[in-house]
């Protein structure tokens, strides 16, 4: 028997058919329990990155750091780790690596010593001209330590001729394109910034006198902090011993928040840009029902991410909602590696049929998206095997036909199911009686707009429309070193 293909392994090597958020950040300034609160905040953001976690703290004199592969609970469970991370300020990060280069030097926060002191940096997003900028920096003599796009920011700060740290950070960021929600920690302050389009979320919270900057409000809830507001697109906030200050150092752009955060990436208990993610998902389900309902006996979600949309769908048509598929919540970690004989069991490892809710019924199956189509095919097959008389698949996103270049790991276009097949083709390949995706306008109605503004869309929706809101300089550049060399290192 051929050995398993270890090159394909991620934290969950059975599952190559989901989209992954690439990162989450959590920073806190002015808190006696900065490290513990950061570990808890990262735990709440675990869905944004499961392959590595790290934190840097500052105690007024020294920086302390801890980074490791795996989940937050693996890295911060030891009392000795948290007690070593001394200080009143901390910055943490969870990472999902896209390139397979899961090396410790890519695990954030990145840290560097400058003439003004130390600076730790955590990033959520993707810089679309990072390779182009990196090539120029290398030509000028910069020595890169990682393959992370975030490292270009460190070097741009290092070579900036601006007089203050704040101006050097702004100078660096002005040279970048793409999506970035970043938090930086220095000896004197914590900085939070969102790119001018505000593609990825970043929120401000408060816990007593301490300020928090983090990716989602669920990370505030877990430590009992109050939500203050979102960092605005193109805004930089500076938090120091005098409190919080705001500057708008970038040219003004129209907001292009990632609409997929509402559909799938953000946690349902988070509030993004003033809207409850859970409520938006239910509304998407309602819109989907209005657009594409057929007679049925039961509405069944593909758990967990399909649940709120299925609830909205069932309520809209007054048909029972049932958990016809049960998800095993303990499969995120690898306990055995798949072999050729067992890899096909991946979906069963995660989902099992609740037969009594399916057998003899016409089923509306609700899921959030179709990526490669492999998981959906297997789930539909499981539902049929359980005795469903009809299976109608409803998807709470438009067809995902284009890759994301703004911080979500998506397969190349050739591997995206919706890029390769029309609706009829997909319906046949999936083996369903009918298939419908929410329309783009239906999605926009669910997030509070009458329709999509085709001249200037209110959100980034490029993975559905192919209309990217920012330049893709690296993608369009010729002769860039897409494979960066770097010594491999052992896993921590």
Q: Is 199 near ligand SF4 (CB under 6 A)? A: yes
Pairing of strands 298-301, 362-367: parallel
Of the ranges 33-41, 77-85, 207-215, 252-260, which one interacts with ligand SF4 (CB under 6 A)?
A: 252-260
For residue 418, the tally of other CB atoms under 10 A from its CB is 24
Residue 55 engages ligand SF4 in binding (rule: CB under 6 A) = no
Distance between CA 265 and CA 443 in Å, rounded? Answer: 15
Q: x/- binding map, residues 384-403, to ligand SF4, per CB under 6 A?
A: --------------------
Residue 130 φ/ψ, nearest 5 degrees? -65, -40
Comparison of 314 and 447: residue with beta carbon closer to ligand SF4 = 447
Q: Does 463 bind ligand SF4 (CB under 6 A)?
A: yes
> CA–CA separation, 421 vs 413, rounded Å?
12
Nearer to ligand SF4, 238 or 404 (CB): 404
Question: Please, what is the minimum distance in Å from the beta carbon of residue 440 to ligand SF4?
Answer: 11
Q: Give the residue from 100, 5, 118, 122 showing the smallest Cα distance to 53.
A: 122
Nearer to ligand SF4, 311 or 447 (CB): 447
Residues 342, 346, 350, 356, CA torsion sign? negative
Q: Which residues contact 482 (CB under 8 A, 6 or more apart)?
A: 131
Q: Which residues pair with 66 in a beta bridge?
A: 55
For residue 260, state whether it binds ligand SF4 (rule: CB under 6 A): yes
Does the footprint of ligand SF4 cover residue 284 (CB under 6 A)? no
Q: Per rule CB under 6 A, is residue 169 in the interface with ligand SF4?
A: no
Of 98-106, 146-154, 415-423, 454-462, the window that binds ligand SF4 (rule: CB under 6 A) is 454-462
Q: Classify burial at 145, counting beta carbons within 10 Å of its beta carbon; exposed 0-12, middle 13-18, buried 19 or more.
A: middle
**Residue 88 DSSP SS3:** coil
Q: Site for ligand SF4 (CB under 6 A): how many residues?
A: 11
Which lies closer to ligand SF4 via its Cβ, residue 10 or residue 470?
470
Judged by CB under 6 A, the residue of 94, 462, 470, 473 near ligand SF4 is 462
Task: Give yes or no for residue 461 binding ligand SF4 (CB under 6 A).
Answer: yes
3-state class (DSSP) for residue 138: helix
What is the DSSP code (8-state) at residue 37?
Answer: H
23 counts as catalytic:
yes
Q: How far apart are CA 237 and CA 224, in angstroms?
A: 22
Q: Which of residues 94-133 bind ligand SF4 (CB under 6 A)?
A: none
Minimum gap (Å) between residue 447 Cβ and ligand SF4? 12
Q: Are 268 and 277 in contact (CB under 8 A)?
A: yes
Rule CB under 6 A: say whether 185 interacts with ligand SF4.
no
Nearest distance in Å: CB 126, ligand SF4: 9
- Decide: is 371 part of the binding site for ligand SF4 (CB under 6 A): no
| Rounded CA separation 225/222 (Å) | 8
* Cβ distance to ligand SF4 smaller for residue 31 or 461: 461
Asked whether 334 and 12 are in contact (CB, 8 A), the reply is yes
DSSP letter at 389 equals S
Residue 404 as a binder of ligand SF4 (CB under 6 A): the answer is yes
Q: How far is the CB of 254 from ligand SF4 (least distance, A)?
A: 14
Which of 157/404 has CB closer to ligand SF4? 404
Query: Residues 6 or more apart from 81 whose CB is under 8 A from it?
Result: 66, 75
When binding is defined by CB under 6 A, the residue of 156, 258, 383, 391 that contacts ligand SF4 is 258
Q: Which is nearer to ligand SF4, 308 or 457 (CB)?
A: 457
Place of tokens 């950040």: 25
Can you give the binding site for ligand SF4, defined by CB under 6 A?
199, 258-260, 404, 406, 408, 460-463
Catalytic residues: 23
């Amino acid at each position: 028997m051929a050995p398993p293909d270890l090159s394909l392994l991620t934290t969950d090597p059975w599952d190559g058919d989901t989209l992954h958020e690439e990162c989450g950040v959590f920073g806190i300034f002015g808190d006696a329990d900065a490290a513990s609160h950061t570990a808890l905040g990262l735990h709440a953001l675990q869905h944004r990155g499961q392959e590595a976690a790290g934190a840097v703290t500052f105690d007024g004199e020294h920086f302390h750091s801890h980074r490791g592969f795996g989940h937050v609970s693996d890295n911060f469970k030891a009392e000795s780790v948290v007690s070593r991370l001394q200080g009143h300020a901390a910055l943490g990060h969870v990472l999902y690596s896209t390139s397979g280069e899961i090396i410790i030097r890519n695990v954030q926060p990145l840290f560097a010593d400058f003439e003004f002191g130390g600076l730790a940096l955590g990033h959520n997003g993707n810089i679309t001209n990072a390779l182009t900028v990196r090539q120029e920096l290398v030509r000028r003599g910069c020595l890169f330590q990682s393959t992370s796009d975030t490292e270009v920011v460190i070097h741009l700060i290092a070579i900036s001729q601006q007089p203050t740290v704040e101006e050097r950070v702004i100078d660096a960021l002005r040279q970048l394109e793409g999506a970035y929600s970043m938090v930086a920690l220095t000896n004197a302050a914590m900085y939070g910034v969102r790119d001018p389009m505000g593609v990825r979320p970043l929120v401000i919270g408060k816990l007593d006198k301490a300020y928090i900057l983090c990716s989602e409000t669920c990370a505030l809830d877990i430590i009992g902090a109050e939500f203050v507001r979102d960092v605005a697109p193109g805004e930089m906030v500076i938090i120091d011993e005098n409190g919080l200050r705001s500057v708008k150092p970038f040219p003004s752009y129209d907001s292009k928040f990632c609409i997929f955060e509402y559909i799938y990436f953000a946690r349902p208990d988070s509030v993004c840009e003033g809207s409850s993610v859970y409520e938006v998902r239910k509304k998407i389900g309602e819109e989907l029902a209005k657009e594409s309902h057929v007679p049925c006996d039961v509405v069944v979600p593909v758990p967990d991410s399909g649940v709120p949309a299925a609830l909205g769908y069932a309520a809209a048509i007054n048909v029972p909602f049932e958990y016809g598929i049960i998800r095993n919540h303990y499969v995120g970690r690898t306990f055995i590696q798949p072999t050729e004989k067992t890899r096909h069991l991946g979906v069963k490892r995660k989902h099992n049929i609740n037969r009594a809710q399916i057998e003899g019924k016409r089923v509306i199956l609700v899921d959030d998206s179709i990526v490669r189509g492999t998981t959906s095919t297997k789930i539909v097959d499981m539902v049929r095997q359980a005795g469903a008389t009809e299976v109608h698949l409803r998807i709470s996103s438009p067809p995902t036909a284009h890759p994301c270049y703004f911080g979500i790991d998506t397969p190349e276009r050739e591997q995206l199911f919706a890029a390769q097949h029309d609706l009829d083709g997909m319906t046949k390949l999936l083996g369903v009686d009918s298939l419908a995706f929410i329309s783009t306008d239906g999605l926009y109605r669910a997030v509070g707009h009458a329709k999509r503004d085709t001249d200037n869309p209110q959100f980034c929706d490029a993975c559905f429309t192919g209309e990217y809101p920012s330049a893709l300089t690296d993608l369009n550049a010729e002769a860039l070193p897409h494979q960066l060399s770097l010594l491999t290192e052992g896993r921590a």
